[in-house]
Amino acid sequence: MRLKIVQAGDPVLRTQARRLTHEEIISDEIQRLIGDMRETMRDAPGVGLAAPQVGASLQIAVIEDREELFSGLPEQELAEKERRPVPFHVIINPEITLLGDDWADFYESCLSLSEFSAVVPRARRIRIGCLDENAESRSIEASGWYARILQHEIDHLHGTLYIDRMDSRTFTSLDNWGRFWKGKQVREIIKDLAGTSGLRR
């Protein structure tokens, strides 16, 4: 069943989500929620969806970056973002560790802030420990765009949105991103905007 995606301003998006027990994870209710979240994410379409985004304040997120979502993007962009297909999986009660001190700045969007985007700095490499949909322990190391997706969704589980981390002067409607910034390197955009107002960096 496709679920309604909550938009910014709903208190559930600013609440620390609750961790789940083993018994809860394997329950019919949570298994049904995971299936509905998967359908909702694919229908949107998106590459990740956290339970708070569908009104459930629980530490669950579904992740999937299908090749069909970026098959039309330039090879150079895919290489810069280190974007590769990621098979569907579920993360529950995740704990995140940043690996190294490499950071990357790219435009990022969110299904709960539809029609907007902004440049967000994220750690390039991370490790997470979590439970999967069978309540089994998992350790995941990720880099590039996959690491960004995981950080974005884990933020949702702690009441954080990308607008809390963005370079605020890069915040734009998707229409204006296509009109003014599409095809430009992020560093060029940041430099251009810094020249108009003193954006950090």
Report the distance separating Cα 139 and Cα 96, nearest Å. 10
DSSP code of 116?
E
User: Which whole-number Å values give the CA distances from 173 to 164, 178, 192, 195, in the listed order?
Assistant: 17, 9, 18, 21
DSSP secondary-structure letter at 60? E
* Closest to 51 (Cα-Cα) out of 122, 112, 115: 112
Catalytically active residues are 153
Q: Is 53 helix (H, G, I), strand (E, B) or coil?
A: helix
